[in-house]
């Protein structure tokens, strides 16, 4: 038997119930609208599938215990399982897929800010060989449309791995410190430059190199303006991979202009993304508003990862995609919605079946059951009191929130009639409304009409 | 890097994609219709929450590796997490909840028969103190309605733990062998009596006791007939808990008759259910048809568990519920549906945007992007070729399965016009149909009208 003190969910996890789940479902519905092919993968993968994909973050992977058989780990994101699936399905040359599922990270949880150890991600990815930057532009367009639909004001920060790595090389960062420099720079959205500067010095870079890095990565601005600034620097302009990155970004900008979303996007040279597998464009979505920009961190992020599928040894396949942080989006929308009754645990019954009678009232339970079965057989969600002889007040209380009532009485039943009524119409006349008496055989049609007419 | 040989999902798990997921979603929709309050719990629980709940089956529980912190296990079913949640939420006195989620068992998988190590269950439970057998009858009614809606012919076998245990006691089974006897008897749906008889003899029961057990548990039949048979046996009639079970069943039968589902239900004294936590009515749903009754085993099962919530030490709360085996239901429906193209991986785009031109055709990519954004901004799922200069045939092939096309041409665009057309109307006139030329500003309305009009 469990001790009382251990009656809880594991650290960093939570239960979801009632109204909270309905809000989460609303988020899913918006995300699904951008569709593509749905994919669902197992919650755990072979350990070898996940290894060497996440760099430093690998220490946060949950492993299953060795109980004999294969070594397995809980999925850390939805990108690596998608790449694994693409490697196995070599018949798939082009696909737009989406997946909504929980992922697992042994991180320090901060539940109030929507940071959990078990959390939902929604991923949308485009895999296949296409003309440059067209799928990338589509993904950015989807990001903008999703947050428009959710009515959350956001900005999308973008950068390009080739540009970032090129800048570091020009600044004099040794090749073996590029990723470490990148991950230090990525903290610039939460920490001031001085702090990042100290970290870089601690990694063995010289003051001169660090200050050149600082000069580059603190630039940000509109896309066109940034291209001009990068192109006018002779040292940068001589760096081939860097200028290829700039050319990608210029093409992207023209597409974003055509799609009318370019004003949502800013070019931010400090954006680096921690994960190892990105190879080109990278992006991160942050909530508008200067007073609480980092409270929930980024609420969506992604990029291009052209080499990940090839790492499984069967064939290369370029991909680009986005992960939406469903729980962080939930935290924002939840804070905004009007607080309803704290225990919003009612189901969604459409009809409540009651029975009333005089002194010798026997409860009419079998009749209530017959009517319930008739209605639910017709696809109408019906409930009734699970008491043999329920009191009128008990039945009215139990019907709270249900739009329609069917009321049974012995005399009326004997005359082949039942009473139907709209509940909670919200004005004073409601109490006086006795509903209407209808022939028993019209019950399903009449209830359907009333349910359809209620808000 | 993963070796090629390990490019697979873990044993007993599978990916779900495209049409398969849409069929699974259809099953979810039917199950959700019976609603109640949705609940979602973490995929893993503290180990102590799961321990001592599953009897012999506990060996099939997946544990997480010890990486510091709490000992956790993957959930084995949805019933125990629900009981844990009810214990924590002592403000909840009555609830009808449903949960659809994956559960985990380290069992021998048989994928073709829908038996996996990771599989979906859909649980519907009613918790709270109610008048006897009313929620139990409601659950049985939901079972019947769900399989009516899924168009799967089923029978529901029911039994009662008090009756079963009473029979064993009257037959002379010692108290400490009751559960073992029960789990041997439960195999009677797959094995002949002779085999079960040998197992019981192996457990140290005498021939006389075993043969009395056999005489009882091989009885089955209509409910009323079985009550009469049990009641007419003086030895059984003297057993108080047994006759209380019979009284429960008689009450239940009257409710099932009122709900018109009694003909789907048969009283089967060999039904025992392996899990320890059941306390009263138990049931199992099997597919109709004598030629393949056990191919997928039972497709739903459940019962009353009045003591499980109390095991967590805070308060007792009686519960009754049902678990639907979603993957087994999937296996049945999948075998039945017409086989579609093997790689049913298309998304659900509603419109495909094409562009055509003469010799100097530049592809009109930015125009296609503008139109795509205009349509998707209006909530219409639009796709276009991710090529700068796509060929006509490439575009027609890529539009397969999409109901509506928007066709762009340079001259028409300059005249402020676009062409819209229904695709794949399925008769010979389709090829001749050039669609209709409309003003650009009517595009969204016209596409919406065409999309709504297609099947």
Distance (Å) of CA B350 to CA B383, B402, B403: 8, 6, 6
Whether A178 maps to a domain, the answer reads: no
Tell me if B342 is assigned to some domain: no
- Residues B355, B441 within the same domain: yes
Under an 8 A CB cutoff, do B10 and A46 touch? yes
Tell me if B307 is assigned to some domain. yes
Please name the member of B15, B84, B343 whose beta carbon is closest to the beta carbon of A7. Answer: B84
Task: Report chain B's mean pLDDT, rounded to a whole number.
Answer: 88
Q: Are A145 and B377 in contact, with CB atoms under 8 Å apart?
A: yes
Residue B271 falls within a domain, yes or no?
yes
Number of domains, chain B: 2
**Across the interface, which of A6, A141, A383 has its CB nearest the CB of B46?**
A6
Report the residue from A6, A74, A97 with minimal CB separation from B48.
A6
| CB pair distance less than 8 Å for A15 and B40 | yes
Q: What part of B 302-331 touches A (C-beta under 8 Å)?
A: 311-314
How much of chain B exceeds pLDDT 70, in percent? 91
The residue among A14 and B401 whose pLDDT is bigger is A14
Q: Mutating which of B8, B10, B139, B253 best tests the A interface, going by the most A Cβ atoms within 10 A? A: B10
Residues from chain A that touch B52, judged by Cβ atoms under 8 A, are: 1
Which residues of B fall within a CB distance of 8 Å from A377?
A: 145, 148
Dihedral (CA of A29, A34, A39, A40) sign = negative
Residue B96 labelled as part of a binding site: no
| CA-based nearest distance B77→chain A, Å | 15
Measured CA angle at A270 (ends A268, A273), to 5 deg: 100
A435-439, B18-22, B288-292: least confident range? B288-292
Structural domain containing residue A437 = 351-453
pLDDT digits (tens, 9 = 90+) for B91-110: 999 999 999 999 999 988 88
Handedness of CA A283, A218, A165, A186 (dihedral sign): negative
pLDDT at A269 over 80: yes
A-chain residue closest to B128, CA distance: A386
Q: Which residue in A8, A69, A373 is closest to B259 by CB distance? A: A373
All residues of chain B having their beta carbon less than 8 Å from the beta carbon of residue A364 are none
User: What average pLDDT does this structure show over A26-33?
Assistant: 81
When pLDDT is cut at 50, 70 and 90, the band that residue B291 belongs to is: very low
Best residue in A38, A51, A148 for a mutation probing chain B (most B CBs within 10 Å): A38
Q: Residues for chain A: how many in total?
A: 455
In a domain, A268, yes or no: no
Render pLDDT for B405-442 as a digit per residue (tens, 0 to 9): 999 999 999 999 999 999 865 555 555 678 899 999 99
Task: State whether B87 and A7 contact (CB < 8 Å).
Answer: yes
In a domain, B436, yes or no: yes
The residues, any chain, with a CB within 8 Å of residue A165's CB and separated by 6 or more, are A178, A182, A241, A242
Q: What is the pLDDT of residues A329-388, one digit of tens each?
A: 988 888 887 654 444 566 678 899 999 988 888 999 999 999 999 998 888 889 999 999
Q: Are residues B301 and B355 in the same domain?
A: no
Question: Which ipTM was obtained for this model?
Answer: 0.86
Instruction: Say whether pLDDT at B455 is over 80.
Output: no
Among the three residues B271, B305, B336, which one is the final residue of a domain in this structure? B336
Residue B168 lies in a domain: yes
Determine the Cα–Cα distance for residues B433 and B371; give it in Å rounded to an integer.
Answer: 22
What are phi and psi for residue B221, nearest 5 degrees? 160, -170
Is A142 in contact with A136 (CB distance < 8 Å)?
Answer: no
Question: Do B328 and B449 share a structural domain?
Answer: no
Write the DSSP string, B96-116. EEEEEEEEE-----BGGGTB-
Q: Which range, A177-181, A246-250, B29-33, is most confident? A: A246-250
Q: Which of B336, B368, B401 is the last residue of a domain?
A: B336
Q: In this complex, do A65 and B70 lie within 8 Å of one another by their Cβ atoms?
A: no
Q: Sorting pLDDT into bands at 50, 70 and 90, what band is A128?
A: very high
pLDDT digits (tens, 9 = 90+) for A241-261: 999 999 999 999 999 999 999
Same domain assignment for residues A298 and A445? no
Give the per-residue pLDDT at A298.
87
Domain-ending residue, one of B307, B336, B365: B336
Q: Both A134 and A70 in a single domain?
A: yes
- Residue A130 sits at the chain B interface (C-beta within 8 Å): yes
By CB atoms closer than 10 A (0-12, 13-18, 19+), residue A91 is exposed
Residues 6+ apart with CB under 8 A from B416: B439, B440, B441
Are the CB atoms for B352 and B346 separated by under 8 Å? no
Task: Please state, in angstroms and rounded to a whole number, the distance separating the CA atoms of residues B129 and A111.
Answer: 34
**Nearest CB to A46; choose among B6, B72, B260:** B6
In this structure, what CATH number is given to the domain that contains residue A29?
Answer: 3.30.930.10
Nearest to A299, CA basis, from A313, A312, A289: A289
Asked if residue B413 is part of any domain, the answer here is: yes
Give me the residues of B, 167-196, that contact A with CB < 8 A: none
- The rounded percent of chain A whose pLDDT value lies above 90 is 62
Are both A361 and A331 inside the same structural domain? no
Q: Which residues of B touch A408 (CB under 8 A)?
A: none
**pLDDT tens track for B335-387:** 887 654 444 566 678 899 999 988 888 999 999 999 999 998 888 889 999 99
For testing contact with chain B, the best of A8, A21, A39, A44 (most B CBs within 10 A): A44
Cα nearest neighbour of A133 on chain B: B386
Nearest CB partner across the interface for A141, out of B42, B141, B373:
B373
pLDDT band at residue B294 using 50, 70 and 90 as cut-offs: very low
Contacts of B40 in chain A (CB under 8 A): 15-17, 21
Q: Are residues B322 and B356 in the same domain?
A: no
Q: Does B259 touch chain A (CB under 8 A)?
A: yes
Q: What is the DSSP string of A303-368?
A: EE-SSTGGGGSS----EEEEEEEHHHHHHHHHHHSPP--S-------SEEEEEE-STT----HHHH
Most confident of A201-215, A429-443, B428-442: A201-215
* B 75-94 → A contacts, CB under 8 A: 84-85, 87-88, 91-92
- Could you tell me if A304 and A402 lie in one domain? no
Domain of residue A432, CATH code: 3.40.50.800
Chain B interface mutation, best of A7, A84, A364, highest count of B Cβ atoms under 10 Å? A7
Same domain, B163 and B272: yes
Are B330 and B189 contained in the same domain?
Answer: yes
- Retrieve residue B259's tokens: 């709900």
Please check whether residues B231 and B164 belong to one and the same domain. Answer: yes
pLDDT digits (tens, 9 = 90+) for B128-187: 999 999 999 999 999 999 999 899 999 999 999 999 999 999 999 999 999 889 889 988
Which candidate from A34, A347, A388 shows the least CB-CB separation from B131? A388
User: Nearest-CA residue of chain B relative to A104?
Assistant: B43
Q: Which among B4, B5, B7 is the top mutation candidate for probing chain A, defined by the most A β-carbons within 10 Å of its own β-carbon?
A: B7
Same structural domain, B295 and B434: no
Q: What is the pLDDT of residue A293?
A: 40
Distance, in Å, from the CA atom of B166 to the CA atom of B232, rounded to the nearest integer, reads 15
Distance from CA of A280 to the nearest CA of B (A): 18
């Amino acid at each position: 038997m469990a001790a009382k003190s251990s009656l809880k969910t594991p650290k960093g996890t939570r239960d979801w119930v009632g109204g909270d789940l309905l809000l989460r479902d609303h988020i899913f519905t918006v995300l699904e609208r951008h569709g593509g092919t749905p994919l669902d993968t197992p919650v755990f993968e072979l350990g070898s599938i996940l290894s060497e994909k996440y760099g430093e973050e690998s220490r946060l992977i949950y492993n299953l215990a060795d109980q004999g058989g294969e070594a397995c780990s809980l999925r850390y994101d939805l990108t690596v399982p998608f790449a694994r699936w693409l490697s196995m399905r070599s018949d798939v040359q082009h696909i737009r897929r989406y997946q909504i599922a929980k992922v697992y990270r042994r991180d320090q949880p901060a539940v109030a800010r929507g940071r959990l150890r078990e959390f939902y991600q929604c991923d949308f990815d485009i895999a296949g060989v296409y003309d440059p930057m067209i799928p990338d532009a589509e993904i950015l367009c989807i990001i903008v449309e999703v947050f428009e639909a959710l009515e959350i004001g956001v900005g999308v920060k973008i950068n390009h791995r080739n540009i970032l790595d090129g800048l570091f090389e020009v600044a004099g960062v040794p090749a073996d410190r590029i990723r470490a420099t990148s991950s230090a720079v990525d903290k610039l959205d939460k920490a001031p430059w001085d702090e990042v500067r100290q970290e870089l010095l601690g990694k063995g870079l010289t003051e001169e190199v660090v200050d050149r890095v600082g000069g580059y990565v603190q630039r940000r601005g509109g896309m066109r303006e940034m291209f001009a600034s990068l192109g006018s620097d002779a040292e940068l302009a001589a760096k081939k991979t860097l200028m290829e990155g700039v050319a990608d970004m210029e093409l992207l900008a023209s597409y974003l202009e055509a799609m009318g979303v370019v004003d949502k996007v800013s070019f931010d040279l400090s954006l680096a993304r921690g994960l190892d597998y990105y190879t080109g464009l990278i992006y991160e979505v942050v909530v508008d508003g200067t007073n609480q920009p980092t409270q929930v961190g980024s609420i969506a992020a992604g990029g291009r990862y052209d080499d990940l599928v090839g790492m499984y040894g069967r064939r290369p396949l370029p991909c680009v995609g986005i992960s939406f942080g469903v729980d962080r989006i939930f935290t924002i929308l939840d804070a905004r919605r009007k607080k309803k009754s704290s225990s919003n645990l009612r189901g969604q019954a459409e009809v409540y079946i009651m029975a009333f009678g005089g002194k010798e009232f026997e409860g009419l339970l079998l009749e209530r059951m017959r009517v319930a079965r008739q209605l639910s057989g017709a696809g109408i969600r019906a409930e009734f009191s699970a008491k043999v002889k329920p009191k009128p007040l008990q039945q009215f209380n139990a019907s709270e929130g249900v739009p329609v009532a069917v009321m049974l009485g012995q005399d009326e039943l004997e005359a082949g009639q039942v009473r139907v009524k709209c509940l909670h119409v919200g004005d004073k006349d409601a109490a006086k409304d006795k509903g209407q008496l209808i022939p028993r055989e019209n019950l399903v049609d009449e209830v359907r009409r009333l349910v359809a007419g209620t808000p």
